[in-house]
Amino acid sequence: MLIVDGLQYSNWSREIFEQMREGGVNAVHATLVYHETTRDTLSRLGEWNRRFETHRDLIMPVREAADIQRAQEAGKVGIFLGAQNCSPIEDDIDMVAIMRDLGLLIMQLTYNNQSLLACGCYEAQDSGITRFGRQVIKEMNRVGMVIDMSHSAERSTLEAIELSERPVIISHANPAAWQPAKRNKSDKVLKAIAECDGLLGFSAYPFHLKNGPDCTLEDYCDMIAATADLMGIEHIGIGTDLCQNQPVSILEWMRNGRWSKEMDYGEGSKDNAGWPRPLPWLKDSRDFPNLVTGLRARGFAEDEVARIMGRNWVELLERTITPQV
């Protein structure tokens, strides 16, 4: 079975890559940057080039959807890169094509806050897609860079879907109807993602799960089943948001970036200042077989399990990342 994880941001190491392979993971959408500038992003790309060289027996870059199948056949893990914010392009629309040429396949328009493109999910007022954002969406469509609205507010997300001529994704979030959280998405948004032929990747980040770190595999699979009824089996996948072996300083960088002197707890409290306890059934990538077992136990047919675990991600990339002529 082809397995694709639609979002991870781990402390990348040979150990992590070995765990991916041991868990049968064939491809991972790896976060390249959060708040980095264009120059910083180039350095992060350079770091990945070194990893591809040093660990070439374990990992390989994904530049097109077919590379995931090639990775599976070679016994490697394919890595496709994404940005969790629009900071890599700064205020220069030409950077969209340049970043795409360098291997950035996915970009979020916001990360929690208002950006130059759209509004984040933690802002009190959602101003929607900006003038610059409209131009960037058009350019992302042209060059084959996937629009990700995982950390965006509702109006901005719906406007992005309406403006985009290509499918829009939410790579890592869950239905708000199942677990209320600013990062989780309304049924209206989820239906719109399905209608634009996009995809939702289910998050396993405990702060976005029912009962947090005590969420059971059964509850998680019940959530997937209910969402399949809402969106259709072709529009759902996995986007765990695993952040293995990361220090608290990385969590602070994700939340604070350079914009705040005070610790940003997001929608949580000081109790959420550190990393949450890992889920007992998904401690790291070696536990992906547990998801397969859980989906089967929930009653999904084998073809449906295959779609959720990876095939839908491959098909999403096939219809979104080829540049337009």
Q: Is pLDDT above 70 for 267?
A: no
Q: Is pLDDT above 80 for 100?
A: yes
Q: Return the bridge partners of 108, or none.
A: 148
Q: What is the 3-state secondary structure (H, E, C) of 175-223?
A: ECCCCCCCCCECHHHHHHHHHCCCEEEECCCHHHCCCHHHCCHHHHHHH
pLDDT at 148 (0 to 100): 98
Mean pLDDT of 178-183: 94
What are the chain's domains? 4-318 (3.20.20.140)
* 0.85 exceeded by pTM: yes
Q: Is pLDDT above 60 for 269?
A: no
Name the band, by pLDDT with cuts 50, 70 and 90, for residue 290: very high
Q: What percent of the chain has pLDDT over 70?
A: 98
Q: How far is CA 258 from CA 83, 126, 241, 264, in A?
A: 17, 22, 22, 11
pLDDT at 266 (0 to 100): 65
Rounded to whole angstroms, the Cα distance separating 108 from 226 reads: 26
Q: What percent of the chain has pLDDT over 90?
A: 91
Calculated CA dihedral for residues 147, 41, 284, 227, nearest 10 degrees = -10
Mean pLDDT for all residues in the chain: 96
pLDDT at 255 (0 to 100): 87
pLDDT in tens, 303-323: 999 999 999 999 999 999 999
